[in-house]
């Protein structure tokens, strides 16, 4: 199969001159959900969100700096009436535009308008089966509406993906979830671990424990192998069945790493460290800029687009440059002496910072958990400081190493 230059595939010039190839843009914090695990505590719009003219100006700056793909998020991006204008503006400039949504209000009319404006991909988040999803989304009926949105978007010709938060409510239902979202028309299923940021920090009992990464990835790998075998038996391209992949905070370097991080038929991939501020960008709805949309606000905002140009923030602020400039000196704990320390750099920065108030040590790691299990040990996390209750906030956890219980 010939590999094509998809927007996110890095080109030689990208390595020489890092640019925000991929931007995730929160255009409003207004939401029709108020999910119990929402990292941004989305609900009402921020009081000072960018105007339509400011959105278009930021879009022009993204185009000039070399961005090739934009995902619009919220809140719910579709709740802004000017979203169509923004999508059209970006799309006409050749940018691949997608939207991530809970799907509650993705009516046929909205989807058709978005498609006409040039939206190419839709991601609908489904957090496991109905009972788990509706608890996590804090809204009865949310699951049914989300599933309907997947079907509707798929029928209208969008490439539909689905994200699932993995936590104590959803981990037991991986097989069931993969089956019903595949039947609904999802082409890529991506799992990510729930991180204690925003409202999720108020529910520590929902969070996965580090040793459960072993079960998560073993189960996902089995499911993916079954899908690949199904495609092989049917004689169809595996991507027409469904691809299962991992979000950035799932991994790392276990036996399933390349299987779960790669799409069938293209170059095999493994984790190569956080790319925040190196090739990715996050924009908050009031114009604040960070290196990744998931990073907590306080420690990672490089500046506001109302005060500085995007180019200035990208090139000159340490909050945006940290991945480009850091060394392994920030690593601590098991990650400091890990075999993969130089290439991994403790996995996902957002995850480690939200758990431990600093980067550099990540117990949510297959390689680490497997080695500890060999020694009869495992790690647990325990909250020692609550979050203060503002968007993208976080508390603090400690790591407890203990004997693996006898079975």
Angle, in degrees to the nearest 10, between helices 108-117 and 142-155: 40
- The rounded distance, in Å, linking the Cα atoms of 345 and 149 is 37
Count other Cβ atoms within 10 Å, centred on residue 146. Answer: 27
Q: Which is closer to another protein, CB of 94 or CB of 405?
A: 94
Site string (155-184) toward another protein, x via CB under 8 A: --xxx-x-x---------------------
Q: Does 44 bind another protein (CB under 8 A)?
A: no
**What is the nearest approach in angstroms of another protein to the Cβ of residue 37?**
14
Residue 74 near residue 30, CB atoms below 8 Å: yes
Q: Does 186 bind another protein (CB under 8 A)?
A: no
Q: Which is closer to another protein, CB of 294 or CB of 383?
A: 294
Q: Does 362 bind another protein (CB under 8 A)?
A: no
**What is the nearest approach in angstroms of another protein to the Cβ of residue 340?**
8
**Residue 10 per-residue DSSP state:** -
Site for another protein in 223-252 (CB under 8 A): 225, 228-229, 232, 237-240, 245-248
- The rounded distance, in Å, linking the Cα atoms of 259 and 270 is 9
Q: Which is closer to another protein, CB of 324 or CB of 386?
A: 324
Choosing from 40, 67, 170, 192, the residue that interacts with another protein (CB under 8 A) is 192
**Residue 51 per-residue DSSP state:** P
DSSP calls for 150-212: HHHHHHTT-EEEEEEEESTTTGGGHHHHHHHHHHHT-SEEEEEE--SBGGGGG-GGGSPPTTH
The encoded tokens of residue 128 equal: 């496991």
**What is the nearest approach in angstroms of another protein to the Cβ of residue 40?**
13
Choosing from 152, 190, 290, 368, the residue that interacts with another protein (CB under 8 A) is 190
SS3 annotation, 88-145: HHHHHCCCEEEEEECCCCCCHHHHHHHHHHCCCEEEECCCCCHHHHHHHCCCCCHHHH
Site string (329-358) toward another protein, x via CB under 8 A: ----------xx-xx---------------
Site string (285-324) toward another protein, x via CB under 8 A: -------xxx------------------------------
- The rounded distance, in Å, linking the Cα atoms of 15 and 369 is 32
Site for another protein in 7-26 (CB under 8 A): 7-8, 10, 21-22, 24
């Amino acid at each position: 199969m010939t590999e094509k230059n998809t927007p996110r595939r890095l080109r030689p010039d990208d390595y020489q001159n890092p640019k925000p190839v991929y931007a995730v843009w929160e255009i409003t914090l207004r939401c029709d959900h108020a999910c119990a695990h929402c990292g941004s505590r989305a609900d009402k719009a921020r009081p000072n969100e960018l105007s339509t003219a400011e959105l278009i100006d930021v879009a022009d700056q993204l185009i000039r700096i070399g961005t090739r793909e934009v995902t619009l998020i919220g809140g719910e991006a579709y709740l802004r009436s000017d979203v169509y204008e923004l999508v059209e503006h970006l799309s006409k400039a050749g940018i691949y535009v997608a939207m991530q949504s809970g799907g509650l209000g993705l009516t046929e009319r909205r989807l058709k308008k978005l498609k006409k404006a040039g939206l190419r991909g839709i991601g609908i988040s489904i957090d496991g089966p109905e009972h788990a999803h509706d608890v996590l989304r804090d809204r009865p009926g949310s699951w049914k509406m989300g599933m309907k949105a997947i079907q509707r978007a798929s029928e209208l010709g969008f490439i539909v993906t689905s994200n699932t938060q993995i936590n104590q409510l959803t981990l037991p239902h991986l097989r069931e979830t993969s089956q019903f979202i595949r039947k609904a028309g999802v082409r890529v299923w991506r799992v990510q671990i729930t991180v204690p940021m925003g409202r999720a920090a108020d529910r520590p009992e929902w969070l996965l424990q580090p040793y459960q990464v072993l079960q998560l990835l073993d189960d996902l790998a089995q499911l993916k192998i079954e899908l690949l075998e199904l495609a092989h038996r049917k004689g169809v391209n595996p991507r027409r069945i469904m691809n299962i992949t991992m979000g950035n905070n799932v991994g790392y370097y276990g036996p399933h790493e390349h299987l779960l991080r790669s799409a069938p038929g293209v170059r095999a991939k493994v984790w190569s460290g956080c790319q925040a501020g190196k090739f990715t960008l996050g924009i908050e709805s009031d114009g604040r800029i960070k290196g990744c949309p998931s990073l907590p606000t306080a420690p990672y905002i490089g500046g506001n687009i109302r005060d500085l140009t995007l180019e200035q923030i990208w090139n000159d602020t340490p909050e945006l440059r940290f991945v480009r400039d850091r060394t392994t000196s920030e690593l601590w704990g098991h990650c400091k002496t890990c075999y993969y320390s130089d290439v991994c750099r403790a996995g996902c920065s957002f995850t480690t910072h939200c758990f431990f108030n600093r980067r550099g040590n990540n117990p949510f790691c297959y390689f680490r958990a497997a080695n500890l299990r060999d020694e009869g040990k495992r790690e647990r996390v325990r909250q020692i400081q609550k979050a203060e209750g503002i968007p993208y906030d976080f508390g603090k956890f400690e790591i407890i190493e203990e004997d693996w219980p006898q079975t």
